[in-house]
Structure 1
Amino acid sequence: MKISARLARRLIVALCIVAVLITPGLILKFSGAEIAPLASLLIYGIAVIAASFALAWTGEAAEKDISGGLMVGLLAITAILPEYAVDLYFAFSAGSDPSLTQYAAANMTGANRLLLGVAWPLMVLVAWLVYRSVKRKQAAVDPDIETKPFAVVVRRGYRLELGLLIIATVLALLIPLTGQINILLGVAMLGLFVFYLYRASKSETEEPELMGVSESIGALSTVPRRIMLVVLFVGTAAVILMLAEPFAQSLIAAGRQLGISDFLLVQWLAPLASEAPEFVIAILFAMRGKAGMALGLLIASKVNQWTALVGSLPVAYMVGGGGWTMPMDPRQVEEFTLTAAQTLLGISILLCMKFSGRWATVLFLLFTTTFIFTSTEARYLVAAGYTVLAVVLLVAHRRAIWPTVKMAVTGKDSDDGFPVHLPGKEHRRGMSRPVSRM
């Protein structure tokens, strides 16, 4: 198929912009020049974000050429690489410099809480705005939307992710309870992630719907497309891996220069940079009236972060010269407690197979509360609030818990009648699901 002039122009412009944004970071890295920490943070941060976007386009476009488990694995790698490059650098370095352990935990917990506390609610807000616009125009409404009360429907096939999140959360509770991440727990989490890839590869998939730059790449004829995919994947992955260390070091140095806690910069700024492409893709899906696909992508991202990222930390720590367990100080235990409690609430909300605007607001407000009330007591109160709400919902949705776990373990959905309402033909097909970028 011959690519149209419009798509070719979009592709060329996008790749040129990425190249321009990445180049200063590479020059600074290999020149050995020393500049102000804030300037280096800006240069490296822009380069990592640009490479992450190119990596995201590659993962999306690859769906045209790769199928089954290999595709799922590749898409998972493209999604986790930007974030993991920074986090695993800290974990690896902490093996020889224990003072860096806090940063590995900070980056992981920040990434997880940003996903549930900001990305999920933001996606629902965008879906609601799109629904209002469509309603005014009297056009067809997204079949993944319920209106009274407003909610985005979770496609039935995503019970797989929810079941795995339940298992992973039970395992993750060992971290705040013991004050450490044992290598055995890390291996178990990584094994759960591999099992997830296996189960996901067995699920039925729909024809991928590409958008933006990935659409331009997908429109190329077979040989040029595959060559471009390989070049982009290898090139952007190499850039991210090379710049992970200086980007992380710039974060710490800039925080100290500005008088801002370097812990907070690592916890929130680095995940924002690495997850930006993922957030943008989810929002684009929601803007195009595909809120169910957007939510599915974000749920899959949570599985990746809560299994592979958590599991990788003690492994990298040990390889870097640390022991069999990665110790957590009281602040890190506090962060893990908050993150685990938030995850539990997110799971309990989605067990009813919908994500309402009301619960999106609750997640966002609880997330922002920890920035207003920063004392240890207040943060544990917020964690208690997450937990109490989660327990109430788990009791209300108790009929769905075992079928959801069973779905994750066996790959077989249960005709349990919960939830009663499964709107749209595509939801009644059971396991049919879009391929989301892991």
Structure 2
Amino acid sequence: MKRSLFLFVLAVLASLPALILRYLLGAHPDHARRLIAFAGGEIGGAPAALIFGLGVLAGAFMISWSAELLQLDLSQNLAIAIIALVTVLPEYTVDIYLSWTAATVPENVPLALANMTGANRLLIGLGWPMVLAAVVWKGRGRRIEVEPARWGELLFLAAATVYSIVIPLKGTLTLWDTAVLGLIFVLYIRYVSRQEVVEPDLEGPAALFGEWSVFSRRLMTGGLFVFAAATLFASAEPFAEGLKFAGEAWGISEFLLIQWIAPLASESPEFLIALIFTLRGAGTAGLGALVSSKVNQWTLLVGMIPLAYLLGLLASGQEPAVFPLDPRQQGEVLLTAAQSFFAVAVILDRRFGVREAILLATLFIAQLTVTIGIEEWVEPGRQLALFHAEKLGFSILYLVLGGLWLARQWRHLPALVRLVWRAER
């Protein structure tokens, strides 16, 4: 009990500097001076990354405790889906803001999807292998067996993935995409909300609060959830920007910072929550947290982009229009969709092992290495054509490998469809 209380107090104390700087002193990135400014002072990139990074870490632990407590009243799937939605809220605000302002600031058009696609590929290329590595490291086997309660989530990820392949082929995002992707998200939430509530094995602070009376526990769960969400929301942007400013000061490539370091920082809450679940012995829950984040981003987030863009056009007195995708954006979306297709194919048998993890990580690192090589060593005039060829080449590779894997595991798909159909009736 004392240890649990100590951990809770430690997490709260670790979050306070970020909360005070952000909400009371108005801390914000000062891009002109490459630092984090606040009322009465300023801090450099490295100290900001440390302070707000502690906020992200504390928020991740607190939200994992609230997720455990939520499982006393909700299914684990729904609890994790809610947590996944909260952890990606900072990305929602950034991408929706960029989509809205793209109506009057055309250079924001490519930025609206840039962070989302990079972060999406990180979830699968590094996140899934990281979860399995934690399982192996803890000596709990060499693969994750996806529980039957989570089988249906794979089908919704597959549906979002198949539809997302169409988007780069037509070259636009429209309200039709908003409707289709929004429907997939609503059906997904409906599905996970109908899962059976199974009392979890609580650990740490969650076990401490779980012993309280029902009213007190629910009050604490709600308060902890809101406090953790506020901490993550306060910390995410300054942490990512502070890391970027520090990287620039240390001479790290701007391309690497924008395309990968910043998305990695923005995805850190999801990574940490998945890792926390896995290290506690819940590898399926850890993988499920990343799957939920992926479904969230592929459906609700992508679907909101054309809607925010349209509203931005109307607010500025312009004619309605679809959200355009330039060739590089089309390549990014296609590559992200192709990687997702391959990931769904390898896990269709509801098992995720060392071989699959190595493949996902190797392909991700290879593609990233080629991208950095083009950016660093190829003259600017030739970069665009090479970027297009690189994205197309890796997309085809992912699709071919996914097709081969799907041909081997096709027999597992009807079982997933039947499971979701029975739950939705």
Which TM bucket (shorter chain)?
0.7 to 0.9
Instruction: State the shift of 1:193 in Å.
Output: 0.8
Distance 1:208 1:272, change over 3 A: farther
Q: Deviations over 1:277-320 (max 9, x none)?
A: 33223223333433233333332332222222222222233333
Tell me which residue corresponds to 2:411: 399
2:66 to 58, 66, 88: 58
Aligned to 2:393: 381
Aligned ranges for residues 284-323 of structure 1 at < 5 Å? 284-321=276-313, 323=320
In structure 2, the CA distance between the partners of 1:39 and 1:296, relative to structure 1 (3 Å rule), is: closer
RMSD: 3.4
* C-alpha contact 1:112 1:302 (8 A) present in aligned 2: yes
Partner of 2:268: 276
CA 1:237–1:291: 2 relative to 1, 3 Å: closer
Amino acid at match of 1:345: F
Q: Does 1:112 align with 2:120?
A: yes
**Structure 1 residue 204: deviation in Å?**
2.0
TM-score by structure 1 length? 0.77
Match of 1:345 among 327, 342, 347: 342
Relative to 1, partners in 2 of residues 1:179 and 1:49: Cα closer, same or farther, differing over 3 Å?
farther
For 1:364 and 1:15, locate their aligned partners in 2 and report how far apart those are by CA, in whole Å: 34
Q: TM-score, normalised by structure 2?
A: 0.79
Give the AA of the match of 2:343. Answer: G
The one-letter code sitting in structure 2 at the alignment partner of 1:60 is E
> In the alignment, what sits opposite 2:173?
181
Bigger shift: residues 42-51 or 326-335: 42-51
Does the CA-based 8 Å contact 2:145-2:350 persist in structure 1? yes
Aligned residue in 1 for 2:329: 332
1:345-394: per-residue Cα shift (whole Å, max 9, x none)? 00110112211211110100100012211242233222211111001011
SS of structure 1 residue aligned to 2:420 = helix
Q: Distance in 2 between matches of 1:294 and 1:333?
A: 31
Distance 2:113 2:121 in 1: 12
* Aligned residues with identical type, % of pairs: 36
Q: Distance in 2 between matches of 1:242 and 1:315?
A: 26
Where does the alignment leave 5 or more consecutive residues of structure 2 unmatched?
28-37, 315-319, 375-386
Kindly indicate whether residue 91 of structure 2 is the aligned counterpart of residue 83 of structure 1.
yes
Compute the displacement of 1:41 (Å): 6.4
Tell me which of 123, 127, 130 is aligned to 2:131. 123
Q: How many residues align?
A: 394
1:135 alignment counterpart: none
How far apart, CA to CA, are the structure 2 residues paired with 1:50 and 1:335? Answer: 33
The reply to whether residue 171 of structure 1 matches residue 163 of structure 2 is: yes
Contact 1:86–1:248 (Cα < 8 Å) also in 2: no
Task: Give a deviation string over 1:260-287, Cα, whole Å, max 9, x none.
Answer: 6766544433443343233223223333
Conserved 8 A contact 1:69-1:201: yes
Query: Which residue is equivalent to 2:182?
Result: 190
Kept after mapping to 1: 8 A contact 2:237/2:266:
no
Q: Which runs of 5+ in 1 are unaligned?
A: 132-141, 414-438
Q: Which moved further from structure 2: 225-234 or 197-206?
A: 225-234
Q: Distance in 1 between matches of 2:106 and 2:61?
A: 33
Could you tell me how far apart the structure 2 residues matched to 1:289 and 1:53 are?
15
